[in-house]
Amino acid sequence: MPTDVIESPDAAPEATRPSFDPPEGTHPSHAAPGGTWVPPVPMAAVVVLVVLAGLVGLVMRLWFTFHSPSSADEGVAAILAQQALHGHFQAFYGGQQYGGTAEPYLIAVAFSVFGQTIVVARLVLVVLVAVAAVLVWRITLRVVGIRSVALLAGALAWCAPAVTVRDSVRVYGFRGVALVCGLGAVLFALRVHDGRRGWPQFAGLGLVVGLGWWSTPEIAYVAIPVLALLLLGVVKTPSGERRRWWAALPVMVVSFGIGCLPWIWANIRSHLGSLATGASASNPVTFTGRLSVFFHRALPMVLGLTRMDDGHRLFGVDQRLLQLTFLSVIVVALVLSILRGGPALAMATGVIAFPFVYALSPASWAWTDGRYSYFLPPLLTVVLAVGATEAVRRVGLTRSAGSWLMAIALVVSATVSIVGVRALVPSERGTYTATWGNPDDATLRAVREMEAAGVRTAYANYWVTYKLDFVSKGHLVVTTVGYEDDRSAAIDATVDHSSRPAWIFVPLSEASIDATQFTSPSLTVAIDTVTQSEFEQTLDRLGVHYRVLDFGILHAVVPARTVNQFEVGMPGAASP
């Protein structure tokens, strides 16, 4: 009995599912009737490919985890996790009305067991993206019904592209959970489409969509395929049974409300502040401009053809033929998915709509780190799997022969992903530590020296502030001033009411010792655009004596009396 192909798993009770046992005296069929039987990739070979791809994806993630010093953005998310250990709840990422905190609370659980380091936080994200890869496997299995193709698709989603691999260990605070919720919503919608119409399916769908909405509005990337699957499910339901859908609606609404309860709670208090965040975008790039950014910048990076962060072509100055080939494969897969209809059509609509949903975000002009295209690779993977199985069927072969095409896609994608990582690291060598270990060790040493010198509170640049708050575990309390982003009113109050807070600067000459500990040196040498020398000159003009303490990668200017941002005339300081 062939075991590689299943049609609509769990769509019908076991006793009524069609049998795939071949008639006596015939060859086994691994696909829909009518195709010439071609053996799929042997399952042993599939397992080997999946394991190798798993190792490739894991090694790349571990390398980034242990060699990339944390950023202030990661520090903000990690601080929320630290605060959770003390019973403090916050609905959103610090200082904003979006970016739910479900992910930091998962990190808090890991902190309580393994310690409070950026390595632990990132390993939580590795687990989340592994769950996402499993969901891609299950989604693909339901859409194409071929076990080997589904396994290869899950492996592809795990190890490629390079930009997604790198981003999947950056603690942005909400995208890991959002990706799992989005893919979980697609899987629940598929189960409902296939006939599983009990209340647990609808409750699960509403819950993960609610959690995803609380986490980030980017859950909208999967809204179209989910809605398409539900509509297709309604259409295929006999008219006499459609009342079950109406009965399921309250279940979905209630479970959605439970999932996004923190969002509702916070928005009642802020008068729907989350819905007004789009107006605060600082870059005036239009919708059309952001759409152009997607096709000219983000998409080539997702395909693995350009280097993350700067868009440098990875395969020569003229790689148009390779890009045309990759795009042609995607277009063919989309067309075949549309022609197949059903769940494949729903997944294709998600990919086709993706650029337009991408361009709706007022911040998506910032393409270099790939964060706004994070949801695209899993959706593309499922569409490629459909394209592989449909392509062989339409040339007269059994669909399981598509596992050969999917195996090729996995090998090519993993190779391109490795090329992308190998191209990035030398170009940004100064941003990575030389050895394995806690990549924040250099900052930790400076923090211990500051504590020994009696520095307890301070003002600093944004990229310095929240990293110091995180790695010091609250022993050093630092906040921002002026135009620098402010993420915590509580931290502000602690520093503002402290005695003689220091002012911390990063000397340019030492900014890259043991990797760049505080993001780009050009962004961290000043506080609110004021350099250390300019700050000292201001203190001299005011007649305020001060000490300069050298902690290697950090210098602390400690005035003899308390001075605030208004007194020293920080450019972004408002009137007190």
Q: Which residues contact 222 (CB under 8 A, 6 or more apart)?
A: 182, 183, 185, 186, 212, 350, 375, 379
Residue predicted with more confidence, 362 or 512: 362
Confidence of residue 522 (pLDDT cuts 50, 70, 90): confident
- Looking at every residue in the chain, the average pLDDT score rounds to 90
* Residue 178, SS3 per DSSP: helix
pLDDT at 280 over 70: no
The structural domains of the chain, with segments of one domain joined by +, span 40-429, 441-559
Confidence of residue 324 (pLDDT cuts 50, 70, 90): very high
**Residue 135: half-sphere exposure toward Cβ, Cα within 13 Å:** 24
The tokens describing 352, both together, are 């086709």
Question: Whole-angstrom Cα distance, residue 370 to residue 163?
Answer: 6
pLDDT of residue 1: 40
123-169 residue pLDDT tens: 999 999 999 999 999 999 999 999 999 999 999 999 999 999 999 99
pLDDT of residue 8: 46
213-255 residue pLDDT tens: 999 999 999 999 999 999 999 998 888 778 888 888 999 999 9
**Residue 237: half-sphere exposure toward Cβ, Cα within 13 Å:** 20
Confidence of residue 27 (pLDDT cuts 50, 70, 90): very low
Residue predicted with more confidence, 558 or 38: 558
Question: Whole-angstrom Cα distance, residue 187 to residue 205?
Answer: 9
pTM listed for this prediction: 0.92
Confidence of residue 277 (pLDDT cuts 50, 70, 90): low
330-344 residue pLDDT tens: 999 999 999 999 999
Give me the torsion for CA of 90, 91, 92, 95, rounded to 10°: -50
414-429 residue pLDDT tens: 999 999 999 999 988 8
- Ramachandran angles phi, psi of 477, nearest 5°: -110, 120
pLDDT at 281 over 60: no
pLDDT at 382 over 90: yes
The tokens describing 36, both together, are 């010439």
Least confident of 16-20, 75-79, 262-266: 16-20
84-131 residue pLDDT tens: 999 999 999 998 999 999 999 999 999 999 999 999 999 999 999 999
Strands 526-527 and 530-531, bridge-based pairing: antiparallel
In the chain, pLDDT over 70 holds for what percent of residues? 92
pLDDT of residue 238: 85
Residue with tokens 């000490």: 547
- Average pLDDT value for residue range 427-456: 92
Question: Whole-angstrom Cα distance, residue 9 to residue 138?
Answer: 10
Residue predicted with more confidence, 430 or 202: 202
Confidence of residue 574 (pLDDT cuts 50, 70, 90): low
Residue 498 DSSP symbol: S
Give me the torsion for CA of 458, 459, 462, 463, rounded to 10°: -50
In the chain, pLDDT over 90 holds for what percent of residues? 77
Which range in 316-320, 381-385, 494-498 is most confidently predicted, on average pLDDT? Answer: 381-385
Question: Whole-angstrom Cα distance, residue 487 to residue 510?
Answer: 27
Residue with tokens 């708050």: 469
